[in-house]
Amino acid sequence: MKKIGLIFVAFYSIALVVSCSYNKDKLPEPVIGGVGTPSDTIISSTTVVTYTNHVKEIMDNNCVSCHSPGVIGQLPFLTNYLEVKLQSSTDRIPDRGLNALGGPMPPSGLMPQTTLDTLQLWIDQGFLE
């Protein structure tokens, strides 16, 4: 009986160790998003943040509902790379979207901090497309 118990413990221990291992080269890419999307993933400061891979989704999820053609008002458009780059380089996105000067953007409330950090990293890295 002790032999069966010892075999069971050995098998369970091996199974536990094997199930806890992973291949870090095959981990999924972080998901970037804003309000209503998974955005709890922290982007490393060494990640190259681009408009196409990171910022466009943030803008689509948080900004274009108000900042696009056909919306009543005089809001600047944020529907493509050049528009977002222009507003970021003139401090409009950092002031309103990141620092909430003049009220939070989007109006529903500031985006999660990880999303704001991603936008700031994109700006700091020079608005990569």
Q: Where are the domains of the chain?
A: 27-124
Task: Using the predicted structure, report yes or no on whether residue 36 has a pLDDT greater than 80.
Answer: no
Amino acid at 98: L
Q: Would you call 31 helix, strand, or coil by DSSP? A: coil
Q: Which of 4-8, 27-31, 57-61, 84-88 has the lowest mean pLDDT?
A: 27-31
CA-to-CA separations, 109 to 6, 63, 78, 113, in angstroms, rounded? 57, 12, 18, 12
Q: Rounding to the nearest 10 degrees, give the CA dihedral for residues 47, 80, 98, 116.
A: -30
Please tell me the pTM assigned to this model: 0.64
Q: Would you call 34 helix, strand, or coil by DSSP? A: coil
Exposed / middle / buried, residue 30 (Cβ in 10 Å: 0-12, 13-18, 19+):
middle
Task: Using the predicted structure, report yes or no on whether residue 37 has a pLDDT greater than 70.
Answer: no
Residue 5: per-residue pLDDT: 65
26 vs 92, more confident: 92
- DSSP secondary structure letter of residue 42: P
DSSP secondary structure of 48-112: ---IIIIIHHHHHHHTTTTSSTT-SS-PPP-SSHHHHHHHHHTTHIIIIIIT-TTS-SSTT-PPP
Residue 9: per-residue pLDDT: 65
